[in-house]
Chain A
């Protein structure tokens, strides 16, 4: 059975339903699955729970789904770049669950690895710890966090082979590898699909077992904060 689809619309056929949970890779606008986000928007699916570190910016990335009011709940660590997010949240139209960034990453890793719960010291003594199981190990207090999985994970990588083996590029890796492992179905979109054997098997970041569907995408790769220095002399 092949994993390769012609585009994101074809790759998401039969996968989407109202009220589903979707994990979306990326940090800010870096390493986001632009093609799958557009196809999800075009499909009309709604009442989504989105697990993603951020929620894009107004009009781009996950901000597109937000603008179209498709998101019911966000599970994130930081959402400060988005005016429409603030408006919907303050109007009570949008549910929001904050997770410390490392806790979010580990919850997704754990979910994909079949680990339902684990203990961390992050957030002990803060609002994050309220209602959570506390336990002492070697005299230090930890709180229990739970693993996360999703109906669908959409991830973005740099290169793939037809088996779905993935290689990411630079800091565009971020949440993508853990999310690939935590989706019941994972759609990977990549910049380039190479022949079997062309990727260095020792350098593969996500083994193809975690990827069910694969497309070659088109990417704008927008930069959120363009910072530069000037050449001297």
Chain B
């Protein structure tokens, strides 16, 4: 059975390590915060200028001066620090953030990612996505394995305008987990009851099988 959005977020939370500074994108990546193992110490960065992002406020305690990058009201923690957008992207571009988890429309077998623009539709902008994929130490994508129309999203070459080239390290879809290696994509995990043939049928990019997954 393929993973649900929550399953994917739970799986992505396992990418966190003790002491990590992490930036979570908008959408499914935001859910990942709910599944972080309480035994490890993780600090969430919000690129609008905050380290140590807390949960949503209780009703009546919203502060218009305290929002995340999705413009949602949030809270601070005892560890929180605030800073300018220039300092925020010095952290991101300068390689000081350990992990970025973000969504994508397409990913290629060589780790190219497209997640900001669909030609013919109104372009909203890339926000901080290009800086994040270029600068953060490790980039993990969470996305559905296929589009709503059933088309593969893991491609030989992205067809949409790129956000970055050769930047993705790992992809978590509803069917399984892939690593981008120097030799191409490797399928490293399968969702329960999903077969390698299921994955092959809905993946355009070529991929190898990790040990233990070989048929």
Point out residues on A near B: beta carbons under 8 Å: 27-31, 53, 76-81, 86, 89-90, 98, 100-106, 108-109, 120-128, 158, 168-178, 205, 221-231
Q: Report Cα–Cα, A106/B90, bound state, in Å.
A: 9
Query: Is B49 a contact partner of A101 (Cβ separation < 8 A)?
Result: no
Query: Is B161 a contact partner of A224 (Cβ separation < 8 A)?
Result: no
Q: Report Cα–Cα, A98/B56, bound state, in Å.
A: 30
Question: Closest CB-CB distance, A145 to chain B, in whole Å?
Answer: 11
Residues of B close to A230: CB separation below 8 A: 58-59
Residues of B close to A81: CB separation below 8 A: 71
Query: Is B49 a contact partner of A174 (Cβ separation < 8 A)?
Result: yes
Among the listed B65, B67, B126, which residue makes an inter-chain contact with A100, where contact means beta carbons less than 8 Å apart?
A: B126
Given A126-B165, A171-B66; 18 other pairs, CB 8 A cutoff: A77-B128, A100-B127, A102-B128, A105-B89, A106-B93, A108-B86, A122-B131, A122-B134, A126-B163, A127-B162, A170-B50, A170-B66, A173-B49, A175-B85, A177-B86, A205-B84, A226-B62, A228-B56
B38 close to chain A: CB less than 8 A: no
Residues of B close to A168: CB separation below 8 A: 82
Query: Is A101 a contact partner of B64 (Cβ separation < 8 A)?
Result: no
Q: Are A126 and B63 also in contact (CB < 8 A) when A177-B86, A228-B56 are?
A: no
Chain B contact-residue range equals 35 or more
**Interface residues of B, dominant DSSP:** loop
Q: Report Cα–Cα, A230/B129, bound state, in Å.
A: 31
8 Å CB interface, B18-61 against A: 46-50, 55-59, 61
Point out residues on B near A: beta carbons under 8 Å: 46-50, 55-59, 61-68, 70-74, 76, 82-86, 88-89, 92-93, 112, 122-131, 134-135, 161-166
Question: Closest CB-CB distance, B85 to chain A, in whole Å?
Answer: 4
Chain A to chain B contacts (Cβ below 8 Å), 6 pairs: A30-B67, A77-B128, A105-B85, A170-B66, A223-B62, A224-B67
